[in-house]
């Protein structure tokens, strides 16, 4: 465990432009990290890269390794990118004793405006003031969810269809990332995107690591399903026994193609398979899970449209 200098334990107010701010480590976020079923090697890579940000960046010249302190998580909706990022923030802070870490969560949509110049100004102030001030006070991790909202691909935007302010907002993000990388080595951005093709290439090039969070394979589906049912078993003991029932493996196989969020919601659909089961969830059977998984998969394949 590496030790970092602690910051003053002053009143922890939410900085301007930040949707949520919290001290780290935070055990609740640790639970999120554990709940995301992903290959251990991928989680280890993410944690190692985040830790490297706080051990190396302040000691080496950026002409040697141009680290910007940005990790980008991309992948389909529902794969747990945001939860993974929050959990990663906790695990990173947990690795440094007395580090005084903070997590700032940005709400990108709150920064956009139809008024000329306001989006660019809001983005610049967020980075140069709110985020910079937090980084000056101590190690800071910033979550940029749906980063394509702030760093839209300028090559795919029409000046007629998209206000020049949106182009300038992307410019502002890039300029501020460069400035913050130069001045604050104890700052790490964790960005997520469901649509990596919509993220500006200049932003992606500044990322120290880009990780694709995939849909769960059969083994991961099995682990997610078991985790969900065992969790329900704490309240409804009979449900916790379903993973040992005959035919359960078929449910996991049927879940392939669904994301983790959809799998857990599918379980809720199974609990609502009949009024009787909804009144007494312990009545749910493996066949109910299988039917709910098949229905969820069919809906996913049809784009959620009904015949």
The CA–CA distances, whole Å, from 289 to 82, 140, 283 equal 27, 43, 12
Classified as helix, coil or strand, 38 is coil
Per-residue pLDDT tens digits for 213-223: 999 999 999 99
Q: Domains in the chain, ordered, with CATH?
A: 2-212 (3.40.50.300), 218-294 (no CATH)
Residue pair 296/269 in contact (Cβ under 8 Å)? The answer is: yes
Length of the chain: 307
Q: What are phi and psi of 59, to 5 degrees?
A: -115, -15
Q: Give the global pTM.
A: 0.88
Per-residue pLDDT tens digits for 21-64: 999 999 999 999 999 999 999 999 999 999 999 999 999 998 99
Alpha-carbon torsion (228, 72, 123, 118), positive or negative: negative
Average pLDDT over residues 279-291: 97
pLDDT of 306 reads 40
Average pLDDT over residues 177-200: 96
Average pLDDT over residues 4-11: 42
Over 50: is that where the pLDDT of 77 sits?
Answer: yes
For residue 14, name the pLDDT band (cuts at 50, 70, 90). Answer: low
Torsion of CA 130, 131, 132, 138, to 10 degrees: 110
């Amino acid at each position: 465990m590496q030790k970092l200098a602690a910051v003053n334990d002053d009143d922890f107010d939410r900085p301007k432009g930040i949707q949520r701010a919290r001290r780290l480590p935070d055990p609740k976020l640790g639970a999120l990290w554990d709940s995301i079923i992903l290959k251990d090697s991928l989680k280890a890579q993410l944690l190692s890269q985040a830790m490297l940000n706080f051990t190396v960046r302040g000691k080496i010249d950026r002409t040697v390794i141009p680290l910007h302190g940005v990790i980008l998580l991309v992948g389909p909706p529902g794969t747990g990118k945001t939860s993974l990022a929050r959990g990663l923030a906790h695990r990173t802070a947990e690795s440094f004793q007395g580090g005084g870490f903070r997590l700032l969560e940005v709400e990108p949509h709150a920064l956009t405006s139809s008024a000329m110049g306001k989006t660019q100004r809001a983005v610049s102030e967020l980075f140069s003031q709110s985020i910079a001030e937090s980084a000056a006070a101590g190690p800071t991790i910033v979550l940029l969810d749906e980063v394509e909202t702030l760093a839209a691909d300028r090559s795919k935007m029409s000046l007629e269809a998209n206000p020049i302010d949106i182009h300038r907002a992307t410019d502002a993000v890039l300029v501020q990332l460069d400035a913050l990388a130069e001045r604050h080595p104890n700052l790490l951005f964790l960005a997520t995107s469901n649509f990596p093709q919509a993220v500006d290439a200049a932003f992606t090039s500044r990322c120290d690591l880009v990780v694709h969070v995939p849909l769960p394979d059969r083994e991961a589906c099995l682990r997610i399903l078991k985790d969900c049912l065992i969790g329900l078993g704490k309240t409804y003991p009979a449900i916790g026994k379903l993973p040992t029932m005959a035919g359960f493996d078929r449910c996991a196989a049927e879940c392939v193609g669904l994301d983790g969020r959809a799998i857990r919601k599918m379980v809720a659909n199974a609990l609502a398979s009949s009024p009787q089961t909804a009144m007494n969830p312990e009545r749910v059977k493996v066949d109910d899970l299988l039917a709910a998984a098949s229905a969820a998969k069919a809906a996913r394949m049809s784009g959620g449209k009904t015949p």
